[in-house]
Amino acid sequence: MALTNETIKERLIAKFGEQVSQFEEPYDLLTFEAPKELNLKVLQFLFDDGELGFQFLTDLTAVHYPDRAGRELAVVYQLHNLSENIRLRFKVFTAIAQPDIFTAVQLFSAANWMERETYDFFGINFVGHPNLKRILNVDEMEYFPMRKEFPLEDQTRIDKDDAMFGRGNLPAAANRGAVETPRKPDETTVPASGTPGSNNEKQDWPTESTKV
């Protein structure tokens, strides 16, 4: 019998009761959440259960929700049952003031670098990770660039054309395609070799100059 979202939901509720919640199915992808203290227990159950078998971690990342007091940061696990070819999304939330989440490295080896990247960009402290340090940004960076704590662009700049940022119509010249810049009749041209020559004049190079 094919594994369905409804079956997965029923199995989770039978195991964890009201501790699993917010079940949704955007684009038929089962999505739910649980308290962050249960992240490993839920992941282990999904992994070990003979009927569920979610043993492949497709992705692990985070999302910053600045307006959700006490649960500003979400850690998101994308899991895949390869034999049934069915996926699900599992979320846990934590306060930005104490962004501690248990590492999943012991269950999924692939979580190692995924958690490092998530720490690097969102500041999630994966408790128990064997080598939690930045993976793309420099160690000296004192902030987490994917948090929504920074202006999207410098509002004081005056050297930008709003049309180039999708905030207005492009100038007429932008729709003309390639335009060749006119040359003055007596303007010196530069051949591909970089040696100046005359307009429309073939360059005859001495044989000696091509010797290596």
- Asked, for residue 20, whether it belongs to a domain, the answer is yes
- How many structural domains compose the chain? 1
Enter the pTM of the model: 0.73
Residue 173 sits at φ, ψ, to 5 deg, of -65, -25
- Per-residue confidence of the chain (212 residues) as pLDDT tens digits? 789 999 999 999 999 999 999 999 999 999 999 999 999 999 999 999 999 999 999 999 999 999 999 999 999 999 999 999 999 999 999 999 999 999 999 999 999 999 999 999 999 999 999 999 999 999 999 999 999 988 776 666 666 666 666 666 655 655 555 556 666 777 666 555 555 555 555 555 555 544 44
Measure CA 41 to chain center: 26
CATH at residue 148 = 3.30.460.80
> Which positions ≥6 away from 136 have C-beta within 8 Å?
117, 120, 121
- Asked, for residue 114, whether it belongs to a domain, the answer is yes
Domain that holds residue 45: 5-163
Name the CA dihedral angle for 203, 206, 207, 211, rounded to a multiple of 10 degrees.
-100
- Asked, for residue 85, whether it belongs to a domain, the answer is yes
